[in-house]
Amino acid sequence: MSNTLFLRLEGPLQSWGERGRWSQRDTAPEPTKSGVVGLLACALGLQADDDIRQLSQQIQFGVRCDRSGIPYTDYHTVGGGYETPQLLTAAGKLKLSSKKPHTELTYRDYLHDASFLAAVQTDPELISRLTRAVQAPHWVIFLGRKSCLPSRPLYEGVGDYPSLEAALGSWPWYCPEAEEESQVNARAVLPGHPAEGAVRRRHEFISRSRRVYGPHYTKDKLLKNILVVPTWPRFNEKASDISKTSEVSAE
């Protein structure tokens, strides 16, 4: 039985906020665990913090950066051009700058034309449930922000692997725009431990309503000789019928 679900996260724009607050909305260089947990929660139709937190605690998550994309910053102004103030302060008062209606400058970061392979590991029963959900999601799925829609189906297959590193190192990169079959090296971001020199990040979901995230440690790993296949994935399962042809073991 399968313990790993593979998701292809690819689109014109994606953004996986890491430290974004107020007028500065950044993106991590790759999809975050909290972001993908939110994506899976959308697919399952989960809203309550307790349900989403339980999902986050049940899964292990890793990601392979097949195409890192181009960083892009979108510049916005909010509230400008009006004779009366359109924005409020935290105290609920009209926001002014030099006694004039305040114009807020905002910056939103994105990754343009990026392609990532995400691997989610958990027990086979939950893998089966997640597999059905991402193929027939309860709500619209997006890549970090609601304006970032995927350009290809997320579901790429399932398999049985002893670790996330083995899973991401074995699964091919199905890339229809590639001219021929080849091999590449790719950076992977995997769960780590502080004793291993892993980096402390705030990617563990705690509360959506309060925007609270806990520590999650990650480490980078260079995966070598990833097979690039110039076709779409050969899987065509329906949400109600997970075919064994989509299962690829590490053996």
Joined together, the tokens standing for residue 197 give: 């020199």
Average pLDDT over residues 232-250: 47
Q: Is residue 240 scored above 50 in pLDDT?
A: no
Average pLDDT over residues 182-190: 97
Contacts 24+ apart (CB under 8 A), 199-204: 201/18, 201/28, 201/32, 202/18, 202/19, 202/34, 203/18, 203/32, 203/33, 203/34, 203/35, 204/33, 204/34, 204/56
The Cα 30–Cα 8 span in angstroms is 12
Average pLDDT over residues 209-233: 91
Stated pTM of the model: 0.86
User: What are the distances in angstroms from CA 35 to CA 15, 159, 205, 238?
Assistant: 9, 22, 9, 25
Q: Is residue 250 scored above 80 in pLDDT?
A: no
pLDDT in tens, 82-119: 888 888 888 888 888 877 888 889 899 999 999 999 99
Query: Is 11 within 8 Å of 150 (Cβ atoms)?
Result: yes
Joined together, the tokens standing for residue 174 give: 């199905």
- Phi then psi for 196, rounded to 5 degrees? -90, 5
Query: How confident is residue 138, by pLDDT bands cut at 50, 70 and 90?
Result: very high
| Domains (range + CATH), the chain | 4-233 (3.30.70.2660)
As to burial, measured by CB atoms within 10 angstroms (0-12 exposed, 13-18 middle, 19+ buried), residue 206 is middle
Angle CA 213–216–219, to nearest 5: 145
Given the DSSP bridges, would you call strands 24-25 and 104-121 parallel, antiparallel or unpaired? Answer: parallel
The Cα 244–Cα 134 span in angstroms is 18
CA of residue 39 relative to chain centroid, distance: 7
Element (H, E) at 207: strand 199-207
